[in-house]
Every structure is written in C-alpha cells, then in structure tokens.
Amino acid sequence: MSQEIAVVGSPDFTTGFRLAGVRKFENVPQDEKDEALDDAVESVLEDEDVGIAVMHDDDLDALSRQVREQVETSVEPTFVTIGGGAAGGSGLRDQIKRAIGIDLMAEEDEESNE
C-alpha cells in the first residue's frame, strides 16, 4: 500500500502542490478558515491512505486546541508545516525525522565536522 501526500489550506496554497502531482487536498478558503479548517484536518487525519500531510504554519495556529494536539502528536499521517519560518533549519529536520524515523542529515553533519 503506497502512502499518499495530502495538502490542507487555502486554494492558493494547495494549487502548487496539486500542479506537482499531489492528488489529495482539502481547500479551505481564507474567509471560511475559522469554521472549516478543523473539519478539513480531521478528514485528512481519518484518511488511511495519507502518510504525510502538508499545511501552512499559519493554519496550524488557526486550529482549535484539540485538533492542533492531534496534528502535533499524529505519527500517521505526519503533518509537516511550511512557511512562517517555523519549518526552516532544524524545525524541518525534526519533522522529517519524526515522519520517517531516521535523521537523514546526521551523516551529513558528521562529515562536515571532520
């Protein structure tokens, strides 16, 4: 069973991912974010085909506390947030490590220290 990538967010945010071939998405218009974002994220959480879910960092802040806790503790799917500076550097590294269980950059760090 192959794992799909899903993207959740505004149509502007999801369009680039859809053009890149992501087939699973939840569009949440900006003016409906307060009401619809939790439902969209819960839909992705319940989809057994999704292995990784991508959303904008600002949208993570807009989730209710209960849904945000589900996102932050979910292993499958693993949520990766981008934008807003949170995914830069070690933030993205930690998210990838949590998603696949290994630190892909560990070997690179060891080489640069030699």
pTM of the model: 0.72
Confidence of residue 87 (pLDDT cuts 50, 70, 90): very low
Residue 50 has pLDDT above 60, yes or no: yes
Confidence of residue 34 (pLDDT cuts 50, 70, 90): confident
The DSSP secondary-structure symbol of 74 reads -
Q: What is the pLDDT of residues 1-32, one digit of tens each?
A: 568 999 999 999 999 889 989 999 999 998 88
Mean model confidence pLDDT for the chain: 82
How confident is the model at residue 22, as a pLDDT?
92
Q: What is the mean pLDDT of residues 37-56?
A: 95
Q: How many separate helices (H) and strands (E) can be counted in the chain?
A: 6, 4
DSSP string for 27-52: E--GGGHHHHHHHHHHHHHH-TTEEE
- What CATH superfamily classification does 4-113 receive? ATPase, V1 complex, subunit F (3.40.50.10580)
25 vs 32: CA distance, rounded Å: 16
